[in-house]
Chains A and B, each alone.
Chain A
Amino acid sequence: MSLLAVANKDFQDTVRSRGMALLVALFSLLVAVFAYVVRPQGQADQFATELLLSAFVGPVLVTGLVPLVGVVVGYNAVSGERESGSLKLLLSLPHSRADVVFGKVLGRGAALALATFAGFLLPALVLLVIPVTFNAGSFLGYTVFAAALGVVFVAIAVGCSAAVATRQRALIAGVGVYALFVLLWGLFTGRVVGAFAGAIEALPVSVAQIRTFLDAANPTSGIELLANAFLGDQLLSGDSLDQQVSAVAMLVFWTLAPPLAGLLKFDRDDL
């Protein structure tokens, strides 16, 4: 199948990139150092894998760094090939432009997932050595959520990449997306909700409900919500079930909509 051929090619190309290896090493080192630094002194039993992940690694490293890696992996997916001319080689073979865009989401998403697992390997070793209660199931499960977050950002960045003609513009768009979701989301949505507070009152929803929705709409907070529910043994159950469902829906949306929007533009372009 054409899409899988593109995905396979792109996966192999991406995992061989030096930048990718560098990011994995950096990420791995940071998580490992973190795990070591915040390790408990004295009574070892107090400190669990879950706490380390949800309180330290999660908010500081995963939601901050993994989306950045996703953007870096995705932004030049299409625009880079367009600029270098390898897209001509790619499109001389029987691939539709949709196969190219979604094949790249798949191939680079898989490469990033692999990188995430590799990046959590060294910290896992550190956790085995230092005196904490190491829960392999929680750790592995958390890695899956981290990888999913990365894949969502790869998809958004590939969408940007397909929509613009040059690597530089794709990078600007990718950094913009990163800034919006990771750095400015609360500020941005707070302002929007504030500005439209009057209008919202006329609607059959409360301002608090809108805030909850906007919180779940951000892929980083969506993943955080789900990962913490998982670590608290309440995945897709418990009090936050509704929020978790909308977080899942929004993650699916962010994985599919940006590449589709990018494809609409890419499909019409003269290359």
Chain B
Amino acid sequence: MTAIELRGVTKEFPSVTAVSDLDLTVEEGEVYGFLGPNGAGKSTTIDMVLDLVRPTEGTVTVLGRDATADSVAIRRRTGVLPDGFSVYDRLSGRRHVEFAIESKEADAEADPVLERVGLLEDADRKAGGYSKGMRQRLALAMALVGEPDLLILDEPSSGLDPAGVKDMREIVAAEAARGATVFFSSHVLAQVEAVCDRVGILREGELVAEDSIEGLREAVGDGETLEVAVDDATDAVVDAVRAVEGVSRVEADGAMLRVSCDPGVKTRVIAAAEDAGAVVDDFHTEEASLEDLFLAYTEGEAAPTGREDAATGEVDA
């Protein structure tokens, strides 16, 4: 069974088409990262999965049921961390979690889940006094109540400090290990990279790429950027480096050479620069990141037609 399935889904608001003819499948048990810049239609898509918003066209199926007709039954087995929510200021953190337990008719205690998200010490304080990160942890605790089959996390890292992001990642991994399907959205690729089996990239309401992290890595290639600090980056030095086999691009930025090359040719690049008369003070390498690819998909003039184009486009740019 698929956990989430969208077929030909379009959502038009009076002034904008938020999602356009979207097909998306999330398999049961996988961790799916839903990526895209702000305004790409991620939240609208999640809102349709949760029946907060109804599609103009197409069908949304969640856990084998119709998203609109069986919404309550779906949410009974789903934990949700919404985006842009607010808490009940006058109620304590513990009361929030108890409300989730009552609502899901779960056989559970509030304290263990509060401890799990690191909120046990502040559980009796009114949630109105919580920081953004604590509110985020509180909503996560409510989502985790009752061991849901599906976890939907909309921008889960927003407002969290690095320790919170790490906790979030560990909880996602633990939930996935338990067998839950995790669907989470982010506008920062680095946050999904570590935990996702598969990612889909949304841009202006359309899915422009969908692949495993490994697949995306292959698309980026294993190229590296070598930064070489020299005393003087003369044209002769640049030309000599550019002539090395395996070097695809050389930029001179003052006394710094930025060389895109295959990993195996680094020493030859250094040697070539020195042979051309430069004194090498320092050098280090940077791996070409998935971030570059993500940016190519989401910020380019037009959506790339395929990932090969995106990868080479970035290198040639």
Chain A interface (Cβ < 8 Å from any Cβ of B): 2, 5-6, 8-9, 12-13, 16-17, 84-86, 88-89, 91-96, 270-271
Given contacts A16-B90, A270-B54, contact A2 B103 (CB under 8 A): yes
Q: Is the CB of A95 within 8 A of B72?
A: yes
- Asked if B88 and A92 sit within 8 Å, CB to CB, the answer is no
Of chain B, the residue at the smallest CB distance from A10 is B88
Binary contact track B294-314/A, C-beta < 8 Å → 1, others 0: 000000000000000000000
Q: Assess the B103–A85 pair: CB atoms within 8 A.
A: no
- Judge whether B82 and A88 touch: CB under 8 Å: yes
Is B75 in contact with A93, judged by CB distance below 8 angstroms?
Answer: yes
Is residue B282 within 8 Å, beta carbon to beta carbon, of the partner chain? no
Q: Using a Cβ cutoff of 8 Å, how many contacts connect chains A and B?
A: 79
Task: Tell me if B182 counts as interface (CB < 8 A to partner A).
Answer: no
- In the complex, what distance in Å separates the CA atom of A89 from the CA atom of B73? 17
Instruction: State whether B91 touches A13 (Cβ < 8 A).
Output: yes
Pick the most buried of B71, B76, B82, B142: most chain A CB atoms within 10 A of its CB: B82
A184 to chain B, nearest CB (A): 35
B283 close to chain A: CB less than 8 A = no
B84 contacts A88, C-beta separation under 8 Å: yes
Quick one: given A5-B99, A9-B91, are A93 and B104 in contact (CB under 8 Å)?
yes
B71 touches A9 (CB 8 A): no
Contacts of B71 in A (CB 8 A): 96
Instruction: Name 21 interchain pairs, CB-CB below 8 A, sorted by A.
Output: A6-B103, A12-B91, A12-B95, A13-B88, A16-B90, A17-B90, A85-B84, A85-B85, A86-B86, A86-B88, A88-B84, A89-B85, A91-B75, A92-B50, A93-B104, A93-B142, A94-B75, A95-B75, A96-B72, A270-B53, A271-B53
Chain A residues positioned under 8 Å from B88 (CB to CB)? 9, 13, 86, 89
A contact residues around B100 at 8 Å (CB): 93
The reply on B239 being an interface residue by CB < 8 A is no
Chain B 119-165 interface residues, beta-carbon cutoff 8 Å to A: 139, 142-143
Q: Whole-angstrom distance from the CB of A243 to the nearest CB of chain B?
A: 42
Chain A contacts of B91 at CB under 8 A?
9, 12-13, 16
For A84, give the chain B residue with the smallest CB separation.
B86
User: At the interface, yes or no: B279 with Cβ under 8 Å from chain A?
Assistant: no
Residue among A5, A85, A89 with the highest chain B CB neighbour number at 10 A: A89
Main secondary structure of the interface of A (DSSP, over half): helix
Complex CA–CA separation, A92 to B80 (angstroms)? 6
With A and B bound together, what is the CA distance between A44 and B71 in angstroms? 64
Take A89-B87, A89-B142 as given contacts and tell me if A94 and B53 are in contact as well, using a CB distance cutoff of 8 Å. no
- Inter-subunit contact A91/B52 (CB<8 Å): yes
Interchain CB contact (< 8 A) of B102 among A5, A85, A271: A5
- Nearest A residue (CB) for B99: A9
Contact with A along B82-110 (1 / 0, CB 8 A): 11111110110001000110111000000
| Inter-chain contacts of B75 with A (CB < 8 A) | 91-95
**Complex Cα distance A66/B130, Å?**
34
Of B90, B103, B104, most A-chain CB atoms within 10 Å: B103
10 cross-chain pairs, A with B, having the tightest CB-CB distances, nearest first:
A92-B80, A93-B103, A88-B82, A16-B90, A94-B75, A5-B102, A85-B86, A94-B76, A88-B85, A270-B53
- One of A8, A12, A94 near B72 (C-beta < 8 A): A94
CB neighbours of B86 from chain A (8 A) = 84-86, 89
Considering only residues 49-93 of chain B, those with a C-beta below 8 Å from chain A are 50, 52-54, 71-73, 75-76, 79-88, 90-91
Would you give the shortest CB distance from A76 to chain B, in whole angstroms? Answer: 13
Residues of chain A contacted by B84 (CB below 8 angstroms) = 85, 88
Chain B residue with Cβ nearest A96: B72
User: Given A16-B90, A94-B104, 18 other A-B contacts at CB below 8 A?
Assistant: A5-B99, A13-B88, A85-B86, A88-B52, A88-B82, A89-B86, A92-B50, A92-B75, A92-B82, A92-B85, A92-B143, A93-B142, A94-B72, A95-B75, A95-B103, A96-B72, A270-B47, A270-B54
Residues of B within 8 A of A91 (CB): 50, 52, 75
* Shortest distance from the beta carbon of A144 to any chain B beta carbon, whole Å: 27
Give complex CA distance A5, B83 in Å. Answer: 23
Alpha-carbon distance between A112 and B82 when the two chains are bound, in angstroms: 31
Asked if A5 and B139 make an inter-chain contact with CB atoms under 8 angstroms apart, the answer reads no
